[in-house]
Structure 1
Amino acid sequence: MTIRGTPHAPSLATKKMPAQQRATETYELILEVAAQLLADVGIERLSTNMVCEKAGLTPPALYRYFPNKYALLCELGQRLMQRQNELIPKWITPEALAGSVEDLEQALAGLLLDTYRVTNETTGGVWILRALHAVPTVQKVRLESHGKVTEEQSGVLVAAFPQVPPEELLLVGRIAVDMIYAGVELLFDAPLEPQAVAQVVAAMVASQLAKLRGGVAPASHP
């Protein structure tokens, strides 16, 4: 079935999650090989047949878990973004938000550099990152992850800026998340010095948060 001549997008769902140790090992092997091949040949050339050959598996063994290469990219993307997102509470803390602008800039720069490091250390990390932008059927992984992170961090922002409207904090938070990730992507795309990029991005985000802080009226005392 098509809608206005456009075919259904390929399925991104894992067909079956492994329940036994041997199945889990096969599942992880498939992802490990796919990530390595992605690093070696890139997004366009990656294929399920190539993964099967490299992993020593038959196509049915792979298709038991992943219906196509986009499902592989989806799972790899979700895992990478999970590792990246776990860094955020380490850096964006109530203390950092309540501290000086310099403290906040340091925290934001640290988050960007840490995210860059984790991505760089992940097998095929840069290509997974690019797939999350370049492949339409996988983009929702990135968008959903950024939305989820923004929602999770909204509580920290509301506590730090209690008199700023929550919808404004959500907007600022979402833009901040995307700016951090844009800075990470830039470091893979251009020969720039990581610390310099991190400092510029951090200063831009921190300046907006400082404006929010400046606009909050001081609390009244009894």
Structure 2
Amino acid sequence: MPTSRRKTAVPPPAPVPPAGPDLATKLQPAQQRATETYERLLEAAAQTLIEVGIERLSTNLVCERAGVSPPALYRYFPNKYALLHELGQRLMQRQNECVARWMSPEVIQAGVPALEQALAGLLLETYEVTRRTEGGVWIMRAMRAVPALQEVRLASHAAVTEAQTQLLVKALPGARRSELKLASRIVVELIYATVEMLFDESLKPKDVARIAAGMMASHLQRVMPGA
């Protein structure tokens, strides 16, 4: 008698995760008039974001505020997330430029009090840059709340972490690089979170910066060689 063969069950293919929204700008403006339209769209997006929030923001509302037709917007931005992506990158760039004005090997080598003062200054300036940026706090919230935009924040923080790690390695040649990198990454995230907190609660920025800087700077003693 022929033997029956048991069929082996074939597992169904794994579901393909849905692709995120396109974040790349379609076209970079080359002429002055196109540049003006491009910047007007971004300004309108920031203003609309303040008024209606992340969820209700739409390209139609942006076009209405900017006085631009939808086809003109779609020449540059495929969707509202591309607008937020560009706004996020610009804000991160402004925030990151504050770091070089406050942090240096000389500041670190000067000891905890000097580092504490520099960190407090850095935190306050980052807060002020965000406050002066049109829709700054809403842009920050979008980069944390919208999964497709989180990479802007994470990539920016990774770049700052690497730059600060190199600075610390230069200032503290005897310390472990892995420890310095971890400390740098945590400090970057703490500053970002503290700035967000200043927008969420009625606190005095200078008092918050003083306490936060003291907590972050105190760790320097633990990573210094021979500590």
Under TM normalisation by the shorter chain, which class is it?
over 0.9
- Runs of 4+ aligned residues of structure 1 deviating over 3 Å after TM superposition are none
CA distance in 2, matches of 1:5, 1:166: 39
Query: Contact 2:179–2:223 at 8 Å: present in 1 too?
Result: no
**1:49 and 2:77 matched:** no
CA distance in 2, matches of 1:165, 1:199: 27
Q: How does 1:123-162 map to 2 (within 5 A)?
A: 123-162=134-173
Query: Contact 2:143–2:149 at 8 Å: present in 1 too?
Result: yes
Structure 2, unpaired ranges of 5+: 1-13
CA distance in 1, matches of 2:166, 2:193: 23
Q: TM-score, normalised by structure 2?
A: 0.91
Query: Contact 2:109–2:172 at 8 Å: present in 1 too?
Result: no
**1:91 and 2:102 matched:** yes
**1:104 and 2:115 matched:** yes
**In structure 2, the residue corresponding to 1:109 is in which secondary structure?**
helix
Aligned CA RMSD, in angstroms, stands at: 1.4
Question: 1:161 offset after TM fit, Å?
Answer: 1.1
2:222 aligned partner: 211
1:113 aligned partner: 124
**Candidates 166, 177, 193, aligned match of 1:166:** 177
**Candidates 76, 92, 100, aligned match of 1:81:** 92
CA distance in 2, matches of 1:205, 1:97: 12
1:198 aligned partner: 209
Amino acid at match of 1:50: L
Question: 1:100 offset after TM fit, Å?
Answer: 2.9
CA distance in 2, matches of 1:206, 1:96: 11
Question: 1:5 offset after TM fit, Å?
Answer: 5.9
Aligned length: 214
